Amino acid sequence: MESQGRARLIVKAGDLDGLARIYSEAGALITEPGEELLRAATGWDATVRSPWRRFLPKILFAGFGGQASSKLFVTNKRIVLVREIDPWRELKGELTPLGLPTAAAKEARLKKLKSLGARQFCEIRPEDLRVVKRRSFDRPVSWVSLRLVGTDSQQYAIRFWKTDGPDQDTRTLIESRFAR
């Protein structure tokens, strides 16, 4: 999922490539030198698109509806979401008569990754992003939607939401990590 071989991507998403670099086998965050963990919260999910247009955007990290078995880590340098691989959620949209062969191959790949201890992750570096538009609320769940422009002039649409009720403290911390 990495693109263009840059040394440090602003938004990075993946699965097995983050094991022992971004997250540990237990799903905990591996911090970088000089990095301080500000908050770890469970039950958050995210969707990241680039560019932010609604017509045919590239989805870098797809969120799912319903309860999430994920952990959101907010540090002084980055925001990292780590979640368990759930083959059913990934394949639900592809289970059509024409999509069955693709779904079967994807299911085998996801089950293999899960057996290796991989998780899905999305790493965001807020200091390299400038906010263009921000919306948020806390009822009935906490939700933050951001339109951002990176230092690489790339557009990003990032949406965070709490899947099981409001969490105003974490939402406020997420918003504070992005400069206006």
What's residue 61's pLDDT? 92
What's residue 180's pLDDT? 63
- What does pTM read for this prediction? 0.86
Segments of 68-125 assigned E as strands = 70-75, 79-83, 120-124
- Residue 18 in tokens: 């983050």
Pick the CATH number of 11-84+119-176 from 2.30.29.30, 3.30.1390.20, 3.40.50.9100, 3.90.1580.10: 2.30.29.30
What's residue 7's pLDDT? 57
Q: What is the mean pLDDT of the chain?
A: 88
For residue range 90-115, what is the model confidence (pLDDT) as tens digits? 777 777 777 778 888 888 888 888 88
Return the domain boundaries, the chain: 11-84+119-176
Can you tell me the mean pLDDT for 24-33? 93
| Residue 10 clears pLDDT 90, i.e. is over it | yes
Residue type present at position 96: T
Share of the chain above pLDDT 90, in %: 56
Can you tell me the mean pLDDT for 7-31? 89
For residue range 68-80, what is the model confidence (pLDDT) as tens digits? 789 999 999 999 9
What's residue 20's pLDDT? 87
Lowest mean pLDDT among 10-14, 18-22, 153-157: 18-22
Distance CA 151, CA 119 (A): 28
Lowest mean pLDDT among 14-28, 34-48, 54-68, 115-129: 54-68
